[in-house]
Amino acid sequence: MKTKLLILFLLVFVSFLSAELVNYDKVIRNSKGQRYYDKKSYQQAGDTFKKNALEYPKDPRLHFNQANAQVKNDLLEEAEQNYNLALSNNSFNERSEALQNLGNVKFKQKDYKNAIKYYRDSLIEDPENADARHNYELTARMLQKQQQQKQESDQNKDNDDKDQENDQKNKPGDQQEEKQKQEEKKQQTQEQKMKEQKKEDADKMLKALLQKEKEEMKKQKQKMNIDRSKTGKYW
């Protein structure tokens, strides 16, 4: 009887010791990853957190730490998966921060609509989360700007489509119409030149007639002076 109790005690002690050693290993590795993270060595931090999360997949905090490092390494889709893994565990306490970080992931992806949703959920978990509130307000402005730009873009696209449609309607006769316009323009130019030439010729003719008339009047005057000198009469 005593032998059985001793064996049972040894088994419980060994199990307890093994569990403590395993837990100690997890804590040490997590602490190492955090030091890398604080030094901004995000690649090394990510590798360390990933190894820990793979060995202890039921620990939500390890998935949360891994996701934080993945965000820094621009592995946004992977980070989103690990944040959701952490949040799926009811024992995870840092829900507001994880939801806020999910909002940050969506913000980086310019998915402002879902970013706002996560920031709102973060504030529901913790109304005192000032960072989540600031990000919510900033993202609301970004979403409004994005929607305005989309509306303007859609309007411009509609106008372009209408112009293209009008071009298609007018396309069959475009070449003929353009040729006709060029002919009309050429004809108008020739007519204008002819008008200008006629005006110039008329001006020359008028000047010639005036000059001829002056010469005739001068000759008449000279003739009258000669006749008067012969007769001695000036009346």
Burial of 32 (0-12, 13-18, 19+ CB in 10 A): middle
Tally of helices (H runs) and strands (E runs) in the chain: 8, 0
- For residue 164, the one-letter residue type is Q
Q: In the chain, list all ranges with CATH 1.25.40.10.
A: 26-93, 95-148
pLDDT at 175: 64
The CATH architecture annotation of domain 95-148 reads Alpha Horseshoe (1.25)
Residues 76 and 134: their CA atoms lie apart, in Å, by 21
pLDDT tens-digit readout, 29-82: 889 999 999 999 999 999 999 998 999 999 999 999 999 999 999 999 999 999
pLDDT tens-digit readout, 190-226: 877 876 776 676 556 556 655 665 576 667 667 766 6
Tell me what the mean pLDDT of segment 223-233 comes to: 59
Joined together, the tokens standing for residue 61 give 């905090």
The fold of the 26-93 domain, in CATH, is 1.25.40
pLDDT tens-digit readout, 136-156: 999 999 989 888 888 888 888
For residues 174, 180, 181 and 187, what is the CA-based torsion angle, rounded to 10 degrees?
Answer: 170
User: Quick one: residue 78, left, alpha or beta (phi over 0 = left, psi -120 to 50 = alpha)?
Assistant: alpha
Residues 113 and 98: their CA atoms lie apart, in Å, by 18
Burial of 78 (0-12, 13-18, 19+ CB in 10 A): middle
pLDDT at 179: 73
pLDDT at 9: 41
